[in-house]
Structure 1
Amino acid sequence: MAESPDNKTGLAGVAAAAKQAPGRGLPPVHLWHPAHCGEIDIVIRRDGLWMHEGSPIGRAELVRLFSTVLRKDDDGYVLVTPGEKLSIQVEDLPFRAVSVTRRGEALVFTTDVGDETEAGAEHPIRVETDPETGEPSPSVHVRAGLWARIARPVFYELVEMAGVEDGRLTVRSGGVAFALGPVGAGVE
């Protein structure tokens, strides 16, 4: 069945919805509540690579476009448009924080899809630790329940910026202190 320009479904519908407001920021996915239409064979791998039907999505612009209509609902990750809601798989977290810069008193993270997030009360940094290996697993909140895994080199930068408070390596951003881990626990 041919798609009409006004009635796009699947990938075409997602792409069309994401282009709705160019230059105006992110689409208002929190306002869209269509019926769940099923699954689409998109997987965001642990390493941040977006796959469609087993093949990498090679165009960074397309990945960015899809990332703008990504939402986390109670039943998992979905790509959402005004007319469709399609489940996708996410192996770890949907984004990777690939750089951090200090702007005044703020730490600003950039993700692999081009989002910038200023760490603070609304965008916390969290560090979970593997109970068996003791290895830290850091992340930062990006938007609306979507988190970015902080890449290892970026985490090392944070450790270099950290001070010691109450026996813990700590960074501050947006007036909030974020503990990276205890001194001497593998985050030095």
Structure 2
Amino acid sequence: MTKESSTGLAAITAAAKQAPGRGLPPVHLWHPEHCGDIDIVIRRDGVWMHENSPIGRAELVRLFSTVLRKDPDGYHLVTPVEKMRIEVEDLPFRAVTMTRDGDDLVFTTDVGDQTRAGPDHPITVETDTVTGEPAPRVHVRADLEARIVRSVFYDLVEMAEERDGRLQIQSGGVWFPLGPPGAGVE
């Protein structure tokens, strides 16, 4: 990876701060040229690293997460004038809590996003081909997803019903398959 200039990191921070309290910046409307890679890695465990050191300020991680976008060539931090590729080892977010709101399941990510599972925010469970373990995820926004942490997946399995020979959970009027009976609880 190439080292970013301090203006690149400063520009990302400034762009992310542009709309405090008004929601997420409109990264889907920004189409700057790719200016290189920035030495930021989102590890599999959800820790954001910059130049091999954890980014310790949760507010800064949240700020960067608001200008994160997934493009066909990978994950990028995007501003109106810069686009810098970062590395993501698994998925950019982790769904660390889940609550029930009526018939809906609401997930909260490690960066504070909330997503209500349903037709626009599906729960997907793939099976790891190497370990055979379930790899659950939930759609958060745009092309960004969160890995559902093990404890939250166990909660989903406990609430699930057996339908058509599979464990399924309902949210937002949609049934999502979690796996065969006994999935995730071995």
TM class by shorter chain equals over 0.9
Partner residue, 1:140: 138
**Which structure 1 residue ranges, 5 or more long, are not aligned?**
1-7
How do 1:10-159 and structure 2 match up within 5 A? 10-159=8-157
- Secondary structure, aligned partner of 2:157: helix
- Secondary structure, aligned partner of 1:62: helix
* 1:186 to 1:117, Cα distance in 2 relative to 1, 3 A: closer
Q: In 2, are the aligned partners of 1:9 and 1:84 still within 8 Å (CA)?
A: no
Partner residue, 2:3: none
- TM-score (ref. length: structure 2): 0.95
Q: In 1, are the aligned partners of 2:13 and 2:64 still within 8 Å (CA)?
A: yes
- Residue type of the alignment partner of 1:73: D
Cα deviations across residues 110-140 of structure 1 (Å, max 9, x unaligned)?
0000000000111000000023432100000
- TM-score (ref. length: structure 1): 0.94
- Secondary structure, aligned partner of 2:137: strand
- Residue type of the alignment partner of 2:119: A
Cα deviations across residues 64-119 of structure 1 (Å, max 9, x unaligned)?
00000000001000000001000000000000000000001110000000000000
Q: In 2, are the aligned partners of 1:167 and 1:183 still within 8 Å (CA)?
A: yes
What stretches of structure 1 move > 3 A for 4+ residues in a row?
184-188
Q: For the residues of structure 2 that align with 1:42 and 1:132, how far apart are their CA atoms?
A: 27
Q: For the residues of structure 2 that align with 1:155 and 1:42, how far apart are their CA atoms?
A: 28
**Which structure 2 residue ranges, 5 or more long, are not aligned?**
1-5
- Secondary structure, aligned partner of 1:155: helix
Q: For the residues of structure 2 that align with 1:181 and 1:70, how far apart are their CA atoms?
A: 31
Q: For the residues of structure 1 that align with 2:97 and 2:131, how far apart are their CA atoms?
A: 25
Q: For the residues of structure 2 that align with 1:85 and 1:59, how far apart are their CA atoms?
A: 23
Q: For the residues of structure 1 that align with 2:76 and 2:9, how far apart are their CA atoms?
A: 12
Q: For the residues of structure 2 that align with 1:117 and 1:164, how far apart are their CA atoms?
A: 24
- Secondary structure, aligned partner of 1:148: strand
Partner residue, 1:3: none
Give the paired residue count. Answer: 181
* Aligned-residue offset at 1:21: 0.8
